[in-house]
Chains A and B, each alone.
Chain A
Amino acid sequence: GAVVSQHPSRVICKSGTSVKIECRSLDFQATTMFWYRQFPKQSLMLMATSNEGSKATYEQGVEKDKFLINHASLTLSTLTVTSAHPEDSSFYICSARTVNTIYFGEGSWLTVV
Chain B
Amino acid sequence: AQKITQTQPGMFVQEKEAVTLDCTYDTSDQSYGLFWYKQPSSGEMIFLIYQGSYDEQNATEGRYSLNFQKARKSANLVISASQLGDSAMYFCAMRATGTASKLTFGTGTRLQVTL
Contacts and interface: CB of A to CB of B under 8 A. Distances in A.
Interface of A: 32, 34, 38, 42-46, 49, 91, 93, 95-97, 100-107, 109
B106 A102 contact: no
Contacts of B47: 101-104
Nearest to B91: A43
B115 interface: no
Contacts of B46: 104
Given A44-B91, A93-B43, A34 B50 contact: no
The 5 closest A-B pairs by CB, nearest first: A104-B45, A97-B101, A107-B43, A43-B105, A106-B44
Chain B interface size band reads: 20 to 34
Nearest to B49: A101
A93 B107 contact: no
Contacts of A42: 107
B68 interface: no
A4 to B, nearest CB: 10
Residue among A43, A93, A101, A109 having the largest count of chain B Cβ atoms under 10 Å: A43
Given A34-B102, A49-B100, A104 B44 contact: yes
B111 to A, nearest CB: 15
Contacts of A106: 42-44
Contacts of A32: 100-101
A97 to B, nearest CB: 4
A104 B105 CA distance: 13
Interface string B67-106: 0000000000000000000000001000100001111111
